[in-house]
Structure 1
Amino acid sequence: MTAPAVPVVVLAGFLGAGKTTVLNHLLRHAGGRRFGVLVNDFGAVNIDALLVSGQSAGRLDLANGCICCTTDAEGLGEALASLAVSGVDAIVIEASGIAEPKALVRLVLAARDERVAYGGLVYLVDAANLESTLAEHPIVGDHLGVADLVVCNKTDLVSTADLSRIRATIADLNPTAPILSVVGGTVDPGLFAEGAGGAAADDGPRQLTIGELLDEEPDHPRGHLHDAFESVSLESPEPVDPRRLAAFLERPPVGAYRCKGLVFVDLPGHRDRAYEVHAVGGFVRVGRRRWPDGVRRTSLVAIGAGLDVDAARAAMAQVLTPADPSDENGILHLTRHLVTGD
Structure 2
Amino acid sequence: MTQVFVVNSGSSSIKYQLVDLESGTSVMGGLIERIGEPGSFIADHVEGMQIVLDELGEGRDILAVGHRVVHGGSAFAVPTLIDDAVEAEIDRLSELAPLHNPANLLGIRAARAALPGIPHVAVFDTAFHQSLLPAAYTYAIDAELARTHQIRRYGFHGTSHKFVSEEAARVLGKPYAELKMIVLHLGNGASVTAIDGGQSVDTSMGLTPLQGLVMGTRSGDIDPAVVFHLKRHAGLDVDEIDTLLNRKSGLLGLTGMNDMRDVQEAAQQGNADAELALQVWRHRIRHYIGAYYAQLGGLDAVIFTAGIGENNALLRRRALGGLAHLGIRVDDDRNELMSREARVISPDGARVAVLVVPTNEELEIARQTASVV
* Relative contact order, higher structure (CA 8 A, sep 6+): 1
Bigger strand share = 1
Place the TM-score, normalised by the shorter chain, in its bin: under 0.3
> Which structure has the highest helix share of the two?
2
